[in-house]
Structure 1
C-alpha cells in the first residue's frame, strides 16, 4: 500500500457501469422502502390516535367524585347455600373537611403513601421508577408506585383489573383530577374514602373505631398507627397483630422524620407512647373465625372496595353442623385444660373426599382475640411431624413397618455442638420394629430414620404432602421443631388419608357478582404426590397410634 493513490485504494476509479446501475437500483429501492415505512407509520399513528380518542371519549367525568353511590353488601353462604353473614360498607360514613383532620395524620399518610404529593401532577414518574428499582433489588420489601391521586381514581372509577388499558386510564384520570381539584381537596377526598380496617370507612370513622375520638384530635402516635394500616388493614391490625402494627408504625415515623415532618425526639416519644384502643367492632355473629378467613381471601383476590361495595355472593364450604361441633370441641377442650395453662385453641376440619374446609375455629372467643390461629398461628407440631419422617423412609425403601430399629441413645455432631435427643420419658426400650417405634412415638428411632434418609428428603416429603411454611434445615425438625399452622397440619393428614393424593384445601366453592354472573369456580384437582403403597403402610401404623 506504499505510495498507492487514495482513489485506487478505495476502487473509486474502477467503478463499472454495472456498479452504477446497481447503485441506482439501491437508491430506488430505498426510496420505496422509506415511503412504505412512512405510510405504515402514519397508518399506525392514525389507529393509535383513534384508539386513544375512543378511550378518552369513554373516560368518566371526574366531577363524579362529588357523588356517592350506594353500596351493596357481600353475602356469605354455607355449604347448603344458606346465608350466614354479610360484609358491607359503613353506610354511616361521616365525611369531614381537611381542617377537621389532624395534621399529624395528613403528614403521616403523605410520608408513607406519596411523599411527593404536593409536587407531582397526579403521576409521579420518579416515584414509580424508584419503586420499580426497589422491587428489583429488594424483593422482600415491595413498594407501590401509585400516588394518592391514582389510588383515589382507582377506588372511585376503575376495577381491580390488571392491564395496560386500566393503568393508562388511571394515569389520564389522575391528571384530570389534578386539574379539576386542588391538592387539599384531593387529600380530603382520599382520607374520607379509603378503608382503615375494623369496618371503618373514612378517617372520621377510623379515628372513632380505633381510638374513640374525632379525626381532628388524633395525636402523632395514633396517626402513625392509622397511616400504617392503609397498605394492609388486616395484616397490620392492632387488634390481631400488634407486633406487625408496631413494626409498621416505626416505618411511618421514620418516613415522617426523613421528610422533615417531625424531630427524632418526637419520633421516639410517639413510638414508645401507650396506645388506648377502643373495643373492636364485630361484623359477624355466627361462625366468626370461618367468615373472617373467607373475608381475608376475598379482600386478597378482589380488593376491599369490591368486597364491601360490589355485592358479591360467596358460596363457601362451611358445614354449620361440623362447625358447631368444632367450636364446642375447642371451647370444652380449652376449658378442661385451663389447669395446665391452656388458654386458646384452634381446629381445622377438611373433607377428605373433596378438600373442602368444613370447619375452622381460630380461637375461643373472637371478641377477646381476633387472631385467627387456625390459619395464622405457627406452632411447633412435635410428634405430629414424625409420620412425615417415617413416610420418607417408606417411600425411599429404606424401611418397612417390620424393619428392626433401635430405641437407644443417639448423638449427631452439628456445626456448633453434639445433638443428643432423648425420649420423653428418659428411658430406652432397645430393639423394636418400625411399627412399634412410631406407635409409641419414640424419639431416638425417629432420629435414626432421619439419619438414613437425610433432611432434604424429609423436607421434600413435607412439601409433597402440602406443607408450605419455612422448615428449618436441621435434624431437630424431625422431632417437630418446625412451626406450622393448623391448616397445614390438617392438609398434610388429609393427603395421607387419600393414600398420597393431594388436594388443595378450599373455603370458597364459587362466587357470583350482584347480577348473578359467575366470577369464579374453585377447582382443586387431585394430584398423586406419593405412591399409594408406602402411604398405606404408614396408615396401617397410624391406626394404632
Structure 2
C-alpha cells in the first residue's frame, strides 16, 4: 500500500525535474538568442534616420519662396524649435516611462495583454515612443508577426545607438497629425498657423492628442472628440506633475483659433528661378533628384524678391498678353555674380521652358563689346578710325566672300572712331576689326568672358551669329562692370541638410582675368550708347530710351531677324533682356523690336529706385580727355561737339582736331597720306 504514493512521488519528481531541465534549456536558448540579437544589432550599428522631408527654398532676405514635397508636408525641427509643452504632452500621453525604459515598457505590455484578454479583443496599445518611431521609419502598419519582430529589432537598434533626445526629436518630426501634415512643425503651421516653438499649452495638448487617431481627433473634423482627447492629455500631464490643476483648467477653457491650411508656401515665387536653383543643385553641387525633392534641405538662394517682382511686372505690362512673342530677364550683382532676379518666359504654367538659362539664341550686336575689348588689347583705342561703307570681305584665299550691312543700309561713307562705331552699332567697323584680329581671337575672348556655348570662328561672329544663352551674356557684361574680375552666375548661397548641418557655403575669392584699365575704357565707351553727342550718320542706338534713364549706364543692344536684346549695367546691377519667338520666327512688327529696350530701361530704373546714382570709378592708369566725337582727336573750342573720353595712359590722342578751323587746307599729297596712315589701316587696306 505504501509503494503507490512512493511511485507517484517519483513520477512527479521526474516530471518536475524534466520541466526544470527543459525550462532551463529553453531559457538558455532564449538568452543566447537574445544575446545574439543584441550583438547582431550592435554590429549593424545605428539605423539611418532618413525620412522624406520637404526641401525649402529661401530668398536672400530669408523668406520661404518655395518647397518640394510628394503631397506630404514635412519640416524638420530640432528640440529647441519645438514647444516644451508639446514635448511634455507627447511623453505624458504616449509613453510616460519613456526616459526610464530601454525601448519596451514591460509593465505596460502586461497591462495591455490583460486588458485585451478581458475584452476579448485588442483594446489597448502598449507601443512605446521608440517602437512607434521604428515603425514610422522602417515599417508599415500591417499586423503580421514579421512586422512585430522587425519593429522590436529596430527598437533595440534605436535604443542602443541613439540618445533619448534624438529618438524623441525624430518621433516628433515623423508622427502623422492628419491632413497630410507629418511632424510637429507641419502640424503647428496647418492647425494654428504658427511654428512649433510658439505653441501654447492649450494648443500643444490639443496637438498631442491627434496622433492617437488623426481622423477621429482632428479639431477641424470633430471638435467635440478633440476636446475630449485634449482633456485626457492634460490629465496625463498633471499626473506626471508637468502642469498644475490650475494650468489644466485654464488650458481647457482657452478658445483655440484654428487655421486649417498649409501656409509655408501658398504661391510659388519665381518658378523659373527655382528651376535654375534645382539645376544648380544637381550640376554644381552634385545632389541627386531624390535628395533635392525629399531630403529636407534648406536652400538659401540669392533671389531679391523686390527685384523679382519688378522684373515680372515690367515684362507683363510691356508685352501685350495677346502677343505670342516671348521674353526673358536676368539680373545679377556684378561684384559677386549673384542672380538677383530671373524670368524665363511670360507664363510658367503654360511653358516652363526657361529661356534665360536654356534657350540658345543669336546675341547680335551685344557680342561687340567682347570684340572691342579684344581690340583694346591689340592696340586699338576709342579714337581708332576705320571706314564705314558697303564692303565685301574675301577670305579662304578668295574662294569665299561676306558682305555685311548696317541697319537700314546706312553708312558713314567715311571714317568713324571705335567709340562712335559702338554707339551707332556699325557692323562694317566690327567685321573689319574682327578680321584684323583673326576670327579665333573673338572665340577665345568669349571663353575668357565665361561663355561656354559653341562659337564658330567665322567673319559673321562679330555680329553675334553664334547662339548663346542669356545668362551667359549677362555674366559676361558683369565681368566688364566689376572691372575685369571673374564671376559666375550664383543662385545658391548656402545649403543645410535636414539636421541643420551646412553642406555647402559659397565662398569664392575674386580673380582678375581682364585688364582693369581696359575694362574701364570699354565700359566708358558703352556709356556712349545713350549719349547723343556721338550721333553721326544715324542716332546712337540707345536714343529711344535715353530720356527714361536718370543715372549713368553702360550697355549695348543687339538684334537679328529673330532676336532682340538689351544688356546694360551700373556699378551695382547688370541686367539683360531677350525677346523673340520660340520657333525662330522673324520679328517683323516694329513695336516688338523695341520691347527688349523698353523692358530693360524700365526694370533698371525701378530696380535701382532709392539707391544713389553711382558713376563708374576710373582706374589709376587711365586718363580722360575731351575729344571730337567724329575725328577722335583732341577737341578745340572750334569743334561743334566734344566728349570726355577715357584712354589707357599713353594711348590718348596727342593731335588736336583742326577740321573746324576756317580756311584749313586738308588736302595732302599721296606720299603725305601714306605717311599719315596708321599701321592697322595698311593691314586692312585690301578690305577697303
TM-score under structure 1 normalisation? Answer: 0.51
Pick one of 332, 353, 365 that aligns with 1:350: 332
Matched, 1:401 2:382: yes
Are residues 291 and 496 of structure 1, via their aligned partners in 2, closer, same or farther at CA, if it must alter by over 3 Å?
same
Aligned partners of 1:520, 1:448: CA distance in 2, in Å? 47
Q: Show the counterpart of 2:273.
A: 290
2:582 equivalent in structure 1: none
Q: Could you tell me how far 1:346 is from its partner in structure 2?
A: 0.4
CA distance in 1 between counterparts of 2:375 and 2:293 reads 50
Q: Partner of 1:314 in structure 2?
A: 299
- Please give the secondary structure, in 1, of the residue aligned with 2:317: helix
Q: Retained in 2: the 8 A contact 1:350–1:494?
A: yes
Which residue of 2 is the match for residue 77 of structure 1? 58
The alignment status of 1:304 with 2:286, answered yes or no, reads: no
Q: C-alpha separation between the residues in 2 aligned to 1:359 and 1:502? A: 20
Superposed, 1:278-427 pairs within 5 Å as: 285-300=268-283, 301-335=286-320, 343-397=325-379, 399-415=380-396, 417-427=400-410
Aligned twin of 2:512? 528
Question: Structure 1 residue aligned with 2:448, among 450, 464, 470?
Answer: 464
Which of 433, 453, 475 is the aligned partner of 1:491? Answer: 475
Q: Choose 1 or 2 for highest CA Rg.
A: 2
**Which residue is equivalent to 2:99?**
none
CA apart distance, 1:313: 0.5
Q: String of CA shifts for 1:294-327, please: whole Å, max 9, x gaps.
A: 1222244210111122100110000000001111
Which residue of the partner structure matches residue 123 of structure 2?
Answer: none
Which residue of the partner structure matches residue 506 of structure 1?
490
Matches of 1:538 and 1:418, distance apart in 2: 30
User: Cα–Cα, structure 1 residues 385 and 342, in superposed 2: closer, same or farther, change >3 Å?
Assistant: farther
Q: 1:474 to 1:358 in 2, by over 3 A?
A: same
Paired residue secondary structure (1:421):
coil
CA contact (8 A) 1:334 1:342 kept: no
Deviation at 1:384, TM superposition (A): 0.5
1: CA distance between counterparts of 2:341 and 2:407? Answer: 32
**1:5-37 residue CA offsets vs partner (Å, 9 max, x unmatched):** xxxxxxxxxxxxxxxxxxxxxxxxxxxxxxxxx
Distance 2:300 2:407 in 1: 46
Please report how far the alpha carbon of residue 90 of structure 1 lies from its aligned counterpart in structure 2 after TM superposition. 4.2
Structure-2 separation of matches of 1:59 and 1:454: 65
Separation of aligned partners in 1, 2:517 and 2:451: 21
- SS of residue paired to 1:400: coil
How many angstroms apart in 1 are the aligned matches of 2:467 and 2:266? 31
Q: After TM superposition, what 4+ stretches of structure 1 lie above 4 angstroms from structure 2?
A: none
Q: What is the alpha-carbon distance in structure 2 between the residues aligned to residue 472 and residue 284 of structure 1?
A: 43
More helix, by proportion: 1
The aligned counterpart of 2:621 is none
C-alpha displacement of 1:376: 0.3
Does the residue aligned with 1:376 lie in a helix, a strand or coil? coil
In the alignment, the residues of structure 1 paired with residue 475 and residue 44 of structure 2 have an alpha-carbon distance, to the nearest angstrom, of 48
Deviation track 1:517-539 (CA, whole Å, cap 9, x = no partner) reads: 11011123211111012211111
1:84-130, Cα deviation, whole Å (9 max, x unpaired): 111123449xxxxxxxxxxxxxxxxxxxxxxxxxxxxxxxxxxxxxx
Distance in 1 (alpha carbons) for counterparts of 2:389 and 2:457: 24
Unpaired segments ≥5 residues, structure 2 = 1-39, 74-136, 139-264, 530-688
> Structure 1: any 5+ residue segments left out of the alignment?
1-53, 93-155, 158-281
Task: Measure the CA separation in 2 of the matches of 1:330 and 1:466.
Answer: 27
Q: CA deviation at 1:335?
A: 2.1
1-structure distance, mates of 2:388, 2:327? 33
Q: Give the CA deviation at 1:450.
A: 0.7
Deviation track 1:490-522 (CA, whole Å, cap 9, x = no partner) reads: 101111101211212200001011111110111
In structure 2, relative to structure 1, the CA distance for the partners of 1:284 and 1:524 (3 Å cut) is: farther
Query: Residues 436-451 of structure 1: matches in 2 within 5 Å?
Result: 436-451=420-435
Q: 1:529 to 1:69 in 2, by over 3 A?
A: closer
What is the aligned length? 297
What is the CA deviation profile of residues 180-205 of structure 1, one whole-angstrom value per residue up to 9, with x for unaligned ones?
A: xxxxxxxxxxxxxxxxxxxxxxxxxx
Three-state SS of the structure 2 residue aligned to 1:345 is: strand
Check the 8 A contact 2:419/2:528 in 1, yes or no: no
